[in-house]
Amino acid sequence: MKKERKKYSKAFKLETIELARTSGKSDSQLEQELGLGKGCL
């Protein structure tokens, strides 16, 4: 059985990129906080 991939809106992606640039947190920290899979950022 295939597992369906999550689809993220363009707005979510842009906000996430900006957060990654300005928050001072590591990528792995942000991935965990946002519920993203490892290596997504």
Expressed in angstroms, the distance from the first to the final Cα of the chain is: 27
Over 90: is that where the pLDDT of 33 sits? yes
Over 90: is that where the pLDDT of 24 sits? yes
The percentage of the chain sitting over the pLDDT mark of 70, rounded to a whole number, equals: 100
Q: What's residue 22's pLDDT?
A: 96
Q: What's residue 2's pLDDT?
A: 83
Q: What's residue 10's pLDDT?
A: 96
pTM over 0.85: no
Nearest CA-CA partner of 19 in 34, 7, 5:
34
